[in-house]
Chain A
Amino acid sequence: MFSVSPEIYLVLSQASRWIFILFALILLSLAWSWHHSDRKERRDRFKNLPGAGTVGELVVLSGSDELPADTWFPVPREGVLGSLRSCDLVIPCPGVSSHHLDFSWQDGTGLLIRPRVGCEVLIDGVPVTRRGMDMPLVHGSVLQIGSAVLRLQLFAALSHTNRTFIPPQPVPGSFSDPMPQPVPVPFSYAPEPVNTQPVYCPPPAPAPYPQQAPVPYPEPYYQESSVPRVPAEQPVSAQSEPEAEPRPASAPRRRRQPEQWKEDWSE
């Protein structure tokens, strides 16, 4: 193979070592520059996405002097809630221990709550005291820790991907009817804040139904109705809701879709 004379190699070797040092210096500075530019780019992206990495917010309904009502916290996908500053969600209220509970977001389920040993938590009035017993917080759920009462508001986009969708329960007597599929909702909904209207739950129909009476499909519902209803003139809702079906006399009158639309957007 090709080789050079020792004299030439000596010069070449010494010169190349200086060049290597120069290259190493350049590489070091370029690595710094690369890292810096990536950080800047990421920071710019985070500026455009203020809610990145969070699933919603916890709004304080009642707290303490240090934590007045209407304070809100962005909720990350997982973390620790407690009274210590190092926690992801800091709740400085009486009755809240330093590390009170762990929480983690699970797609399709909600925000899972795992209280630490000896810590008491109420979710919608139901006590959760045992570690490992997962009770998900969904949109509008009320979390009570010590003297603090917090309400979870999930981001609209998470609701619209049906992650918090709860399938409707089959109505007694309508065993012949198939389960309705969730209506695909077009992506046109309100900006922040998300709608916080109370849950629309169809009340249980009086049993037993007359066998001949036509039973309407139970409407699939979302927690806290964070999903803005689709206007009636849109083809999706028109296909999914046949208006010709009579409903039982005891059932409450279902709101028309335009009314729901106006009501949902009134806030």
Chain B
Amino acid sequence: MTKQKSSARFRFTGFMLFLALFLFLVPATQVGDYRLYMLAAGVPCVMFLCCTVLARAFSMDRLVLALSLLFCALGIASLALTDPAAAMAQAFGCGIGIIVLIIGAVFVRSLSGSLLTAIVSAFLGLLLLGGKLIAPTFTLPVTQPALALLLVAFAVLLSREGPVSAAAVGILSAVLLLLRGEPADCLIWGITVLLLLFAVDGRPLVFLPALAAFVLLFWGMYSRSVPDAVLPEAVSADFLKTVGVLGIDTLPEGMAFPETSSLLPRLFCHYGPVFTGLAFLTYLPLILRGTTVASCARTRIHAILAMGACLLLGLYAIAAVLSFFGFLPFTVSEMPMLTTSPASLGAHLFLAGLLCGISGRNDSDLAEDAHLAMLAK
């Protein structure tokens, strides 16, 4: 009797659960904090339940779901070493984010692509972006949820009404982002919109004017509205020397992180550049999986949505790393799924949920095709 070889999925899930266990168990043995023990028990259990029960119940893509959960666990672990209370709060936020992920997966499976969907999502997205301009006291970090909603509106309009109305929504959103003083988000959103426009309607007559309009708009508005922007400092050699290869338990003294909600600097300090680099490379399978999902989608709206979600997540990840090392002239405050902001975390998990839902829909379409082929035989 031959021994059956376990699949990559089982091995990945097993290693992921062990990593999540040890990420909390090792710091817990330092001071014996009960919250860390709770996290060491709870986080792997929740991950296991999500990868088995929830993925099956909602027909979600298991790889995207597992990678999203892994990033959530890394985010909690980066807080656990120095701030167990914040880690507990982050875990609670991740729990809510998982619910948002499921909502995204269910939402995209039943998304009809009607004009009403486009209007409602565009209105809500633009309202969230314009809220700060209307009421300056409205300081909630709603950029990521707004971009997720605007991506839905953009995809519906592009697949249904053509490139003009979709480009109008894209440009309006970019203007609002620049007026809010968020050039990094504007740049990422603009690149996403332009690439989607080029992918769907590759006519130079449409793409080149949109590109020129975006470049002119970005250049003009950026130089006008952000003239004295504080450039992020590059990571110093002393800082790298202090952190070393494996990282340190405490944050380096005198080191002032920029006012961002990204957990990338904490992960870098606590677990070192090698582990952080490997964690960053783990975004690559997520993006590749997303592009595969987009290329297999049957309808144009799902393809655009999946590709847009991939682009947003991938571009934010790259921009956050480049900004951390000082290669970008502005600060990118969000690393996908490695952020302390609950709104941003929810938006990123919503995008991951879109990918999960579209993948599930692709599978059900393929199963229907197999059924029809069986009937035709």
**A interface list, Cβ under 8 A from B:** 1-4, 6, 9, 12-14, 16-21, 23-28, 30-35, 37-39, 42, 45, 48-49, 51-53, 76-79, 84, 86, 98-99, 155-158, 160-161, 187, 189, 191
Contact = CB atoms under 8 A, between A and B. Distances in A.
Contacts, number: 140
A37 B8 contact: yes
Nearest to A88: B300
Interface of B: 7-9, 11-12, 15-16, 18-19, 22-23, 26, 28-34, 37, 63, 67, 70, 201-203, 246-247, 249, 271-272, 274-275, 278-279, 281-282, 285, 288-289, 292, 296, 298-300, 365-366, 369-370, 372-373, 375-377
A24 B278 contact: yes
Contacts of B373: 49, 51-52, 157
B285 A28 contact: yes
B279 A17 contact: no
Given A27-B70, A28-B278, A76-B298, A20 B271 contact: yes
B9 A34 contact: yes
29 contacts: A1-B28, A9-B29, A9-B30, A13-B30, A13-B249, A17-B271, A17-B272, A17-B275, A20-B23, A20-B271, A20-B275, A23-B18, A23-B19, A30-B8, A30-B11, A31-B63, A31-B67, A31-B285, A32-B285, A33-B8, A35-B288, A42-B296, A45-B370, A51-B369, A53-B298, A84-B203, A157-B376, A161-B375, A191-B376
Contacts of B288: 35
Contact of B29 (A3, A45, A98, A189): A3
A104 to B, nearest CB: 8
Given A24-B282, A49-B373, A53-B365, A2 B32 contact: yes
Contact of A31 (B12, B18, B272): B12
Nearest to A9: B30
A4 B27 CA distance: 10
A116 to B, nearest CB: 9
B87 to A, nearest CB: 15
A18 B246 contact: yes
B15 A156 contact: no
A157 B373 CA distance: 7
Closest 9 CB pairs of A and B: A3-B32, A157-B372, A1-B32, A24-B278, A34-B8, A31-B285, A157-B376, A33-B8, A30-B12
